[in-house]
Amino acid sequence: MEGRTPGDRGLSEKPVPTAARPSLSSLGAVFILLKSALGAGLLSFPWAFHKAGGVAPAFLVELVSLVFLISGLVILGYAASVSGQATYQGVVGGLCGPTIRKLCEACFIINLLMISVAFLRVIGDQLEKLCDFLLPGAPPAPQPWYADQHFTLTLLSMLVILPLSAPREIGFQKYTSVLGTLAACYLALVIVAQYYLGPQDLAREPRPASSPSSWTSVFSVFPTICFGFQCHEAAVSIYCSVRPQSLGHWALVSVLSLLACCLVYSLTGVYGFLTFGTDVSADILMSYPGNDGVIIVARVLFAVSIVTVYPIVLFLGRSVMQDFWRRGCCWACGPQALAEPSGPWVRMSLTVLWVTVTLAMALFLPDLGEIIGIIGGVSSFFIFIFPGLCLICAISVEPVGPRVKCFLEAWGVVSVLVGTFIFGQSTVAAVMELL
């Protein structure tokens, strides 16, 4: 075995990625993947069912997507074992080259930035409903200035979100994982219960549309599904930490995580759509009355969960920008002139810039559906395109049988083409919305 290169290893003999000693249990890996996927996208699944034309076509699209979503996670684990890297961008760069790595890092920044915008948009919507509940008044009368979303969201961002995002390290992920999962499960159960036990005056459409208006309406839900199920950015780090570290075990973890996620999303999508039909909002909680105590609890839980997850997203985006800073300064000025990118001045400047930009975009992009469309399009790179490219490059250096190699290469090409189609479709839809 001595002196062999990565290209000389077979499928059953993989190097351990360059990360810390694996210490994550199988159950822990399932919950972290589940928490990574169960986020703000949960609020938009009933709206996606409406856009698809009903329960049956939307559920079919979800099942087809699930095949690619699971295969993407498995491919990333396999690519991590082949490349010996412990980060997503490291795996892409190690297998596909530095140019594709730069593209991956740029997509990382854009995707995380838009996710932060979506988080703030969700928090702002829930603050607006809470203010309506706490400050009731006649509909024609305007709310006081301090109840306006521009003020409440800005105040929350400056006094809570910014201080939580300032530390050099984020050490409370294990608490937010539990909180985020519980909030998502509570929301799904509330939506199901409201369908059967909700008040009689709740607006609902008894016979929602059962068929899509056109084939393009079915494809338009792919970005929402990608946004909802995206946990692939964290897949490599989780794979490198889980024990035992084998491809079969990782495949089982991936299947269990996404099946559980699919159950929560499907319950939310089906019952939210059956409750409101074509009148469903892009944020399902905005469709419910503001004075329902159960819904108020759901809003508070979900908003608190998003507030605590936002700093983690910012931390990931800031780390990529710090890498850009480090490499740019080293190339231009040399390491002696390099200012420490993790130092307090650089770190705080990047943090304030991130919060300011995302807050401004959240306040001036009021439609959550538009934001999710952009995120879903960019996330197709992480779910389809980059895993497909990694599979093609990994197979080119792995000694496998010709039939297996042909099948895996074909699957990699199909994955890249599907991701390109989703990205192109979402981009065209976003441009048409602007026009």
Q: Which pLDDT score, from 0 to 100, does residue 390 have?
A: 93
Q: Which pLDDT score, from 0 to 100, does residue 170 have?
A: 55
> Mean of the pLDDT values across residues 374-391?
87
> Mean of the pLDDT values across residues 84-101?
88
Q: Does residue 218 surpass a pLDDT of 60?
A: yes
Amino acid at 192: V
> Mean of the pLDDT values across residues 135-159?
75
Q: Which pLDDT score, from 0 to 100, does residue 130 have?
A: 81
Q: Which pLDDT score, from 0 to 100, does residue 341 have?
A: 56
Note the Cα 423 to chain centre separation in Å.
15
> Quick one: pLDDT band at residue 196, thresholds 50, 70, 90?
confident
| Contact indicator for 172, 248 with CB cutoff of 8 Å | no
> Quick one: pLDDT band at residue 1, thresholds 50, 70, 90?
very low
Q: Does residue 420 surpass a pLDDT of 80?
A: yes
Q: Per-residue DSSP letters for 388-411?
A: HHHHHHHHHHS---HHHHHHHHHH
Does the residue 346 lie in any domain? yes
- Residue with the two structure tokens 């932060």: 116
Does the residue 12 lie in any domain? no
Cβ neighbors of 275 (< 8 A, separation 6 or more) are 46, 191, 194, 195, 198, 202, 204, 287
Q: Does residue 36 surpass a pLDDT of 60?
A: yes
Cβ neighbors of 129 (< 8 A, separation 6 or more) are 285, 286, 290, 296, 299
Residue positions counted in the chain? 435
Interval 154-171: pLDDT, tens: 999 998 888 888 877 655
Q: Which pLDDT score, from 0 to 100, does residue 4 have?
A: 38
> Mean of the pLDDT values across residues 345-353?
86
> Quick one: pLDDT band at residue 281, thresholds 50, 70, 90?
confident
Q: Does residue 360 surpass a pLDDT of 70?
A: yes
Q: Which pLDDT score, from 0 to 100, does residue 258 have?
A: 92
Interval 98-127: pLDDT, tens: 899 889 888 888 888 888 888 888 888 888
Does the residue 171 lie in any domain? yes
Interval 254-265: pLDDT, tens: 999 999 989 999
What CATH number is given to the structural domain containing 155? 1.20.1730.10
Q: Which pLDDT score, from 0 to 100, does residue 388 have?
A: 93
Higher pLDDT, 260 or 142: 260
> Mean of the pLDDT values across residues 8-21?
46
Q: Which pLDDT score, from 0 to 100, does residue 421 have?
A: 87
Cβ neighbors of 157 (< 8 A, separation 6 or more) are 120, 355, 359
Higher pLDDT, 24 or 335: 24
Q: How many domains does the chain have?
A: 1
Smallest CA-to-CA distance from 422 within 65, 114, 66, 99 is with: 65
Amino acid at 42: L
Interval 226-253: pLDDT, tens: 888 888 888 888 888 888 888 889 999 9
Amino acid at 67: V
Q: Which pLDDT score, from 0 to 100, does residue 338 have?
A: 46
Higher pLDDT, 371 or 314: 314
| Contact indicator for 426, 376 with CB cutoff of 8 Å | yes
Does the residue 108 lie in any domain? yes
Does the residue 4 lie in any domain? no
- Tell me the two tokens of residue 213: 């208006």
> Quick one: pLDDT band at residue 432, thresholds 50, 70, 90?
low
Mean pLDDT for the chain?
78
Beta bridge partners of 24: 242
- Biggest CA-to-CA distance, the chain: 79
Smallest CA-to-CA distance from 290 within 299, 277, 281 is with: 299
- Tell me the two tokens of residue 358: 């995302």
Q: Does residue 414 surpass a pLDDT of 90?
A: yes
Could you tell me the pTM of the whole model? 0.80
Three-class DSSP category at 266: helix
- Residue with the two structure tokens 């939307």: 58
Q: Which domain holds residue 364?
A: 20-434
Does the residue 365 lie in any domain? yes
> Quick one: pLDDT band at residue 329, thresholds 50, 70, 90?
low
